[in-house]
């Protein structure tokens, strides 16, 4: 981790060095659930049962470690399409995810109207995102400004890929938050690619964390496949944000071990050896080994967790597939202020 943290923050007793046992086990469970759901959605796509999905595999450690350091339900999240494990760790259910994947009327994110995995949940303070890369970054700064004006200590977190940091939205959102010292965390999941474009072809800095210096804020680079290291870095940033010390930019270095989306073929732009090398650094295996060493997980508990997760995915798939589609008469809802006749006479 880059040593850019002010010493007073590192010395803060609120920044513990390890999550407690219950939190660690919950992190592991969320990672298993995300992986199982992701694998199933990919299969459903290939079977022609869902039109599209955005895989998360490889990013689970970064996402779950990040959420564990915050207050889900109170802090505000502006997510992006890769954030399946994040959404689950915050409290979105597998059934909610599958309702979106099958574009069903009861999908809580948007009643079957958005692309799948465009997470949104008013109850859980997950803001509606757009497919447009990076637009959630200035949103998070605005949300943090509102929190500050209300005198609350609920912070905002924007999650995005390294490709998004080359966009104007990133500059505007981070600069504004830095100047206003807003309680916001900019959480970049650097997986080395923006679809097929390697990171070094779209930014001249070595690390996304280096960009922080241009805004006068701390920049931290952390191993994103180490959930506990991410938890620590986000925890430190949260203490700083809540203390009125402003934003932090965190780069969690990771890798997606699967194609960009169900429509992508990553064999066109990277070798199988490269992918295999990163599969050996799987964040789930890594946390599992740690839990075993700490005697927080044994083989029987692991089997039991994996069975529970498989059942949850099975139940969610069945329920969502059987759920009703949106009524075509509601097609224009939320598009126009006044709902037009959804079935105009085209004869
Ligand atoms: C403004 C905009 N430009 C291009 C796209 C097409 N697009 C979708 S995802 C993506 C790559 C983003 O890469 P990154 O930010 O690194 O996130 P990752 O997908 O790697 O997690 C691009 C170019 C888009 N959705 N929006
Ligand atoms: Mg990327």
- Residues 231-242 have pLDDT tens digits of 999 999 999 999
> Mean pLDDT across the stretch 175-186?
98
* C-beta separation of 276 from 3 below 8 A: no
Evaluate: CB of 84 within 6 angstroms of ligand 1: no
> Mean pLDDT across the stretch 111-131?
91
Residue 114, pLDDT score: 81
Does position 347 have pLDDT exceeding 70, yes or no?
Answer: no
Kindly report the number of other CB atoms within 10 A of residue 326's CB atom. 17
**Contacts for 183 with CB less than 8 Å, ≥ 6 apart:** 144, 147, 148, 153, 154, 155, 156, 241, 242, 244, 246, 247
**Mean pLDDT score of the chain, rounded to an integer?**
93
How do residues 287-335 score in pLDDT, each as one tens digit?
A: 999 999 999 999 999 999 999 999 999 999 999 999 999 998 888 887 8
CA distance 62 to 221: 12
Q: What do you get for the CA distance between the two ends of the chain, in Å?
A: 65
Does position 10 have pLDDT exceeding 60, yes or no?
Answer: no
Q: Which helix (H) or strand (E) holds 176?
A: helix 168-180
Fold of 7-323: Rossmann fold (3.40.50)
Extents of the domains making up the chain? 7-323
Whether 211 is catalytic is: no
Residue 166, pLDDT score: 97
> Mean pLDDT across the stretch 138-159?
97
Q: Which of 113, 181, 242, 269 is catalytic?
A: 269
Residue 5, pLDDT score: 42
CA distance 50 to 44: 6
Residue 1, pLDDT score: 40
Whether 242 is catalytic is: no
Separation of CA 16 and ligand 2 centre (Å): 30
Evaluate: CB of 82 within 6 angstroms of ligand 1: yes
Whether 260 is catalytic is: yes
Give the β-pairing of 193-194 and 197-198. Answer: antiparallel
**Edge-to-edge order in the sheet of strand 184-190:** 76-78, 156-161, 184-190, 248-253, 219-223
> Mean pLDDT across the stretch 253-268?
98
Closest approach atom of ligand 1 to CA 165: 15
């Amino acid at each position: 981790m880059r040593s850019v943290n002010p010493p007073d923050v590192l010395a803060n007793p609120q920044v513990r060095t390890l999550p407690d046992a219950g939190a660690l086990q919950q992190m592991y469970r969320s990672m298993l659930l995300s992986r199982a759901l992701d694998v199933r959605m990919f299969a459903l796509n290939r079977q022609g049962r869902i039109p599209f999905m955005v895989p998360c595999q490889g990013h689970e450690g970064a996402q779950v470690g990040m959420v564990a350091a915050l207050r889900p339900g109170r802090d505000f999240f502006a997510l992006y399409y890769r954030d399946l494990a994040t959404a689950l760790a915050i409290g979105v259910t597998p059934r909610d995810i599958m309702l979106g994947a099958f574009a069903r009327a009861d999908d809580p994110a948007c009643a079957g109207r958005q692309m799948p995995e465009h997470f949104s949940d008013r109850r859980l303070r997950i803001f509606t995102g757009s497919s447009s890369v990076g637009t959630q970054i200035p949103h998070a700064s605005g949300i943090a400004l509102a929190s500050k004006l209300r005198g609350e200590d609920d912070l905002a977190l924007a999650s995005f890929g390294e490709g998004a940091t080359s966009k104007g939205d990133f500059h505007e959102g981070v600069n504004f938050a830095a100047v206003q010292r807003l309680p916001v965390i900019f959480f970049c999941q650097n997986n080395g690619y923006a679809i097929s474009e390697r990171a070094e072809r779209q930014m001249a800095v070595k690390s996304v964390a280096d960009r922080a210096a241009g805004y006068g804020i701390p920049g931290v680079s952390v191993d994103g496949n180490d959930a506990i290291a991410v938890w620590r870095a986000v925890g430190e940033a949260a203490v700083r944000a809540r203390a009125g010390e402003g934003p932090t930019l965190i780069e969690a270095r990771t890798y997606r071990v699967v194609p960009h989306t169900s429509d992508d073929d990553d064999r066109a732009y990277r070798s199988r050896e490269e992918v295999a090398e990163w599969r050996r650094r799987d964040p789930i295996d890594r946390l599992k080994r740690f839990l075993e060493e700490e005697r927080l997980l044994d083989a029987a508990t692991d089997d039991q967790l994996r069975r529970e997760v498989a059942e949850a995915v099975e139940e969610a798939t069945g329920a969502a597939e059987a759920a009703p589609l949106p009524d075509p008469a509601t097609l224009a809802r939320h598009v126009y202020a006044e709902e037009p006749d959804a079935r105009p006479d085209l004869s």
